C-alpha cells in the first residue's frame, strides 16, 4: 500500500525522444541566481553599473550635438571619439570586461561547486542528459549574464547612435560594428564562462570559487603590469595639443589620424613599452587586441600578433578540458 | 525467462582496483535484490548499466539497449534513485521532480502534473512546496524515489533506498517499492547491503562479492543453497560433541538447544551420526536446515573470500 493511500498512476502522455537538456539546465541556473533577493539585487546592481557607462556616453553625445564647436556643427572632438568603431571597442573593453567578469563570477562561480555539493550533478547526469548538455547549460547561463553587460548595451547604444545621426548612410558605413561587437562579446562569453565554471568545478564552495576566479584574473593582470608595463605616460600638454588639432582638423581623415595618435597615448597594449609582447598575459589586453582584430583597428607594431588569440582560446580550451574531467556523476576513488 | 539486464564478461577496473571481475549475469523481470557488502561493486554495476561508467571490458544491455553506445536512451528508459543526496538547491520538491520529468522528455505542463501525482504517491504532498534542502532524511529519500518514477519507467534502479532511515521510514519506503513491483508491474533492481530490505521486497537475489557474482536465484534457492546444513538436537555434553564433529570435518554453530552443523559436501548426515557415536551423545533430531538469507549471505561472502 502506498504511504498515504494515493495509488500509483501510470503516465500516458507523450515523451519526447530528443530533448535539448541544456536549456532547462540554464534556466534553473539563472532562476537560482534571482531567487534570493540579495543575490538578485547584486546581479541587477552589476547590470545597472555596467549600463551607467553607456548612459554617460549617451549624455556626452547629447552634449556634442547640443553644444556645437567653434566652427558650427557638432563638437568635432566629441564626434571624433564616438563616431568611429574604436569607440565601441573602447566601450566593450574598458567598461565592460570588468562588469562581464564580475557578473559572470557572481552568476557562475557557485554553479558547479554547488551542484557537486548538493548532488545535483548526479541528479542531472542520472537522467538522459550528457556531460556536454550539462556544461553547455551552465555556459549558456553565464553567457546570458555576460551578454547582458556587453552585447546588449552595445547594440542599444548603436541603435540610439543611429537614431541620433538619422541617416542610412551612417548605418551603411558603420554596420560592421554589429558583427564585430557580437564577435567580441561571444569571445568574452567563452572566456569568462570557461574560467568561472572551470574554477567552480575545482572547489567545493561558491565563496572559494569567487575568490579563486578573482585571484586568477588579478594575478594575470598584475603579472602583465609587472613584465610589460602598458605605457609611458605622455605629458598632458601633448594630449591637450592633439585635442586642439582634432578640433581644427579640416578633413575626417586628418581627424582620424590625429585621434589614432591620441588613442595610442592611452594604449593598454603597451605600444610605447619595450615589452609589449608580454601584454597578452593580461586578459584585458588580450581582449583589447582581439577586439582590434575584430573591429579592424591596427595593432601596435611591437605587440606580438596571434598570442592574444592563443591565450584567450587556449586557456578557454584548457578550462573546458578541466570541466570535462570534473563533470562526472561518478566519484572515482582508487 | 526474460531478462531486463544482461551482462557478459563485464570487467571494470580503477587503476589496480578491480571493481567488477568478468561478471556474467542476467537479471530477470520482477524485483531483484543486488546484495553485497560495501565495496562489492554494486554501485559500479549500476553506473555501468546507466552508461555513467564505461566497462573496461565486456558487454552490457538494459532493456535491450547498450548503455555504452546509447547511454541517454538507457537512462530515458530507466528510473534511477541514487544512493547519495541528489537535488538542486533552491527548488521545491514539486519543482525538482517536474525538472526531472522535463529532462526525461515530458512536456513542461505534463511534467508538473506528473510531479504532483508521484509526490502524492510517495507521501510528500504536504511538503511539496517546501525547498528540498529543508527536507528530513526520510523526505529526501522519498523525493529521490519520486524523481525516479516521474517518467513512469519500466525498470527502476534503486541504490540503497533505505539508507539512514528510521525503522518506520524504512518500512514505508519498502512498502512503496513492493507495491510498485507487485501491483504495478515495475521491474526493480534493489541495490542494498541490508538483507531485510531485499527479503521484504524482492523475489530474486544476486549476491555480489569483490566484483564477482557468487550466488543468484530466488530467495528460496539462495537460502537452501547449501544442502549440507543440519540442525541437530541432542542430549549430552556439547563440548565433546562439538569436538567430535570438528574431527569429522564439520563446522558448528551453537544455537538454542541445538547445533547448526555444516557437513562436508556430499557426505549427508553420516558425519553427524559418527560424531554422536564417538562422543557418546544422544541425538534427538537431525533435520536439514534452511538458511536465512543472512546465513546464505554470510556463507556466500565467506565462500568468496
Specify the residue for cell string 575568490: A211
Nearest one of A88, A68, A94, A263 to A160, comparing CA atoms:
A88
Cβ atoms A99, A106 nearer than 8 A: no
Decide if pLDDT at B180 tops 80.
Answer: yes
**Helices and strands (DSSP H and E) totals, chain B:** 11, 13
Q: Which residues of A lie inside 8 Å of B (Cβ-Cβ)? A: 1-4, 6-11, 13-19, 21, 24, 28, 31-32, 35-36, 114-115, 118-120, 122-130, 328-330, 332-334
Q: Distance, in angstroms, between A324 CA and closest chain B CA?
A: 13
Spatial separation of the C-alpha atoms in residues A21 and A124, rounded to whole Å: 9
Do B179 and A8 count as a contact with CB atoms less than 8 A apart? yes
- Judged by a CB distance cut-off of 8 A, whether residue B152 touches chain A is yes
What pLDDT, in 10s, does the model give residues B50-95?
Answer: 999 999 999 999 999 999 999 999 999 999 999 888 899 889 999 9
Tell me the pTM: 0.80
How many interchain CB pairs under 8 A, A with B?
140
Cβ atoms A58, A65 nearer than 8 A: no
Cβ atoms B177, B158 nearer than 8 A: yes
On the CB side of B293, CA atoms within 13 Å amount to: 23
- Judged by a CB distance cut-off of 8 A, whether residue B165 touches chain A is no
DSSP category for residue B58: E
The pLDDT assigned to B116 comes to 95
Cβ atoms A54, A157 nearer than 8 A: yes
Do A3 and B175 count as a contact with CB atoms less than 8 A apart? yes
Spatial separation of the C-alpha atoms in residues B117 and A7, rounded to whole Å: 9
- Judged by a CB distance cut-off of 8 A, whether residue B179 touches chain A is yes
What pLDDT, in 10s, does the model give residues A91-121?
Answer: 776 667 888 888 888 888 888 988 888 889 9
Indicate whether this complex's ipTM tops 0.85: no
Q: What is chain A's mean pLDDT, rounded?
A: 80
The pLDDT assigned to A333 comes to 41
Amino acid at each position: 500500500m502506498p504511504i498515504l493511500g494515493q495509488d500509483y498512476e501510470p503516465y500516458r502522455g507523450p515523451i519526447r525522444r530528443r530533448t535539448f537538456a541544456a536549456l532547462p539546465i540554464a534556466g534553473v541556473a539563472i532562476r537560482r541566481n534571482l531567487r534570493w533577493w540579495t543575490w538578485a539585487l547584486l546581479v541587477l546592481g552589476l547590470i545597472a553599473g555596467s549600463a551607467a557607462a553607456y548612459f554617460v556616453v549617451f549624455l556626452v553625445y547629447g552634449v556634442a550635438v547640443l553644444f556645437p564647436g567653434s566652427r558650427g556643427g557638432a563638437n568635432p572632438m566629441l564626434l571624433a571619439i564616438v563616431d568611429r568603431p574604436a569607440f565601441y571597442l573602447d566601450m566593450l573593453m574598458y567598461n565592460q570586461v570588468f562588469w562581464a567578469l564580475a557578473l559572470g563570477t557572481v552568476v557562475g562561480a557557485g554553479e558547479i561547486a554547488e551542484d557537486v555539493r548538493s548532488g545535483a550533478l548526479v541528479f542531472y547526469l542520472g537522467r538522459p542528459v550528457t556531460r556536454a548538455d550539462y556544461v553547455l547549460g551552465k555556459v549558456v547561463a553565464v553567457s546570458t549574464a555576460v551578454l547582458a553587460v556587453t552585447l546588449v548595451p552595445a547594440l542599444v547604444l548603436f541603435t540610439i547612435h543611429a537614431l541620433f545621426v538619422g541617416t542610412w548612410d551612417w548605418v551603411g558605413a558603420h554596420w560592421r560594428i554589429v558583427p564585430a561587437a557580437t564577435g567580441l562579446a561571444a569571445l568574452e562569453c567563452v572566456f569568462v564562462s570557461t574560467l568561472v565554471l572551470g574554477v567552480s568545478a575545482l572547489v567545493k564552495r561558491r565563496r572559494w570559487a569567487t575568490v579563486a576566479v578573482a585571484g586568477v584574473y588579478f594575478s594575470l593582470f598584475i603579472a602583465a603590469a609587472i613584465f610589460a608595463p602598458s605605457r609611458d605616460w605622455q605629458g598632458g600638454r601633448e594630449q591637450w595639443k592633439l585635442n586642439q588639432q582634432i578640433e581644427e582638423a579640416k578633413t575626417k581623415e586628418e581627424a582620424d589620424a590625429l585621434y589614432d595618435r591620441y588613442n595610442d597615448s592611452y594604449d593598454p597594449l603597451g605600444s610605447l613599452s619595450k615589452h609589449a609582447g608580454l601584454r597578452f598575459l593580461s586578459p584585458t589586453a588580450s581582449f583589447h587586441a582581439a577586439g582590434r582584430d575584430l573591429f579592424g583597428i591596427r595593432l601596435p607594431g611591437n605587440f606580438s600578433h596571434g598570442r592574444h588569440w592563443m591565450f584567450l582560446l587556449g586557456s578557454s580550451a584548457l578550462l573546458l578540458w578541466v570541466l570535462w574531467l570534473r563533470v562526472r556523476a561518478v566519484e572515482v576513488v582508487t | 525467462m526474460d531478462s531486463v539486464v544482461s551482462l557478459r564478461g563485464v570487467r571494470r577496473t580503477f587503476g589496480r582496483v578491480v571493481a567488477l571481475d568478468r561478471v556474467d549475469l542476467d537479471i530477470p523481470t520482477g524485483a531483484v535484490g543486488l546484495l553485497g557488502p560495501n565495496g562489492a561493486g554494486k554501485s559500479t554495476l549500476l553506473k555501468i548499466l546507466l552508461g555513467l561508467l564505461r566497462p573496461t571490458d565486456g558487454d552490457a544491455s538494459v532493456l535491450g539497449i547498450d548503455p555504452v553506445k546509447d547511454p541517454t536512451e538507457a537512462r530515458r528508459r530507466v528510473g534511477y534513485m541514487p544512493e547519495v543526496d541528489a537535488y538542486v538547491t533552491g527548488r521545491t520538491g514539486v519543482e525538482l521532480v517536474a525538472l526531472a520529468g522535463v529532462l526525461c522528455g515530458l512536456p513542461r505542463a505534463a511534467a508538473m502534473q506528473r510531479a504532483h501525482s508521484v509526490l502524492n504517491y510517495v507521501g510528500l504532498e504536504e511538503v511539496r512546496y517546501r525547498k528540498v534542502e529543508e527536507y528530513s532524511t526520510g523526505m529526501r529519500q522519498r523525493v529521490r524515489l519520486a524523481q525516479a518514477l516521474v517518467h513512469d519507467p519500466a525498470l527502476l534502479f534503486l541504490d540503497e533506498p533505505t539508507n539512514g532511515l528510521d525503522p518506520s521510514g524504512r518500512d514505508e519506503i519498502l512498502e512503496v517499492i513492493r507495491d510498485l513491483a507487485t501491483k504495478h508491474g515495475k521491474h526493480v533492481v534493489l541495490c542494498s547491503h541490508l538483507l531485510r530490505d531485499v527479503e521484504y521486497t524482492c523475489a530474486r537475489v544476486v549476491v555480489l562479492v569483490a566484483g564477482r557474482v557468487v550466488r543468484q536465484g530466488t530467495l528460496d534457492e539462495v537460502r537452501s543453497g547449501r544442502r549440507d546444513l543440519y540442525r541437530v538436537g541432542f542430549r549430552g555434553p556439547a563440548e565433546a560433541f562439538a569436538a567430535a564433529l570438528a574431527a569429522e570435518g564439520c563446522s558448528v554453530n551453537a544455537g538454542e538447544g541445538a547445533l547448526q552443523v555444516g557437513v562436508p559436501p556430499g557426505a549427508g548426515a553420516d558425519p553427524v551420526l559418527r560424531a554422536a557415536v564417538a562422543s557418546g551423545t544422544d541425538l534427538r533430531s537431525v533435520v536439514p536446515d534452511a538458511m536465512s538469507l543472512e546465513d546464505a549471505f554470510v556463507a556466500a561472502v565467506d565462500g568468496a573470500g
